[in-house]
Amino acid sequence: MTTTTQPLRSALIANAVFSAGCGAAMLIAPRQIDAWLALGHPLMLQVVGPGLLVFAADLLHQATRPRLLTWRALYASVADLLWVIGTLALLLIAPSLVSATGATLMLAIAAVVLTFGLWQLWGIDRAHRAATPSRYRHCVQVAVDVPADAMWNVISQLGEIERYMPSLRSSKVLDDQPDGVGAVRVCENHAGKRWGEECTRFEDGRGFDVRFLAEDPDFPFPATIMFGGWEVIPRGEGSEVRVWWELEPKPKLLAPVMLPMLAFGVDREFPRIIQRMAAAAMGNGPLASDAAQRMPRAGLSSYPC
């Protein structure tokens, strides 16, 4: 695994410092900045300034989290790009609103903001890169107060995943094959989209890997190659469940957008799925809400996992 979050953390911190500096300047010296821009509205700067400080605080919070959430970094990049678009639109539509000096200053700031936005997108790309350069990876790991063997008894039932994943309408193993290498699990969601997963590794008591049948003409995910897997690891009296995906997205240029969107959905859904599995492993039924509430809060790992 070669993923690293350091480029993204550096980009977020640099953006936070710049945004905080601009926000503080607007609060401390609004009249001076307004004079440079020739806007005639220093109060507007005092409104924008606190917004920039809040934005900077959010960036700093993102950059210092143990697990960096790339979907949050994506919306920061979107905000940066919107700032650039807004600046250009203002100067093109109403160039007389600001002085020549003000226009130069606004374009310089927009150039810096654009740099941060692109730097963050590159950092997102690096954060999700797998050991194979053309592939991208996302992983979650959740700790539960259930022994590993009990969790494995639930997770290893390949065709039963629909019982714990509300987004699925059905799941089954083709031709009644036994759970193990070669078994093909077919899942269908409530939108009618179907896909197959061929088991390529099945290590009893430990985990299994699958190859998504991306070559199928109706494969619903934007990937040319896609793999995944589940691992159950003993942790004291409980266990830790890891779920991972690796894929080659199509088109590859959209990886910094697609992977954070995948991460957003996975990070929200899979801790709950694993909690339902833990409830079933305890004998309380897969949808027993009272049992699920007794499960510990999902603890998502930092990259890589």
Each residue of 24-47: pLDDT tens digit?
999 999 888 888 877 777 788 888
Which tokens is 106 given?
């606004």
Confidence (pLDDT) at 290: 44
232-253 burial code (b ≥16 CB/10 A, e <16)? beeeeebbbbbbbbbbbbeeee
Confidence (pLDDT) at 270: 94
Confidence (pLDDT) at 1: 40
pTM above 0.75, yes or no: yes
Confidence (pLDDT) at 45: 84
31 & 101 share domain: yes
Mean of the per-residue pLDDT values for the chain? 90
Domain count across the chain = 2
Which tokens is 195 given?
């896909």
Cα Dmax for the chain: 76
229 & 81 share domain: no
Share above pLDDT 70 across residues of the chain, in percent, rounded to a whole number? 92
β-pair partners for 172: 186
Which tokens is 228 given?
């995944």
21 & 164 share domain: no
279 & 165 share domain: yes
Q: Which domain holds residue 106?
A: 6-128
Mean pLDDT of 269-274: 93
pLDDT at 145 over 50: yes
Give whole-number Cα distances, 232 to 73, 242, 258, in Å. 30, 7, 27
Confidence (pLDDT) at 34: 81
For the segment 44-93, what is each residue's pLDDT rounded down to a tens digit?
888 889 999 999 999 999 999 988 899 999 999 999 999 999 999 999 99
Confidence (pLDDT) at 300: 54
Last residue of a domain, one of 107, 128, 149: 128
**What stretch of H or E contains 195?**
strand 194-203
27 & 166 share domain: no
180 & 275 share domain: yes
178 & 103 share domain: no
113 & 229 share domain: no
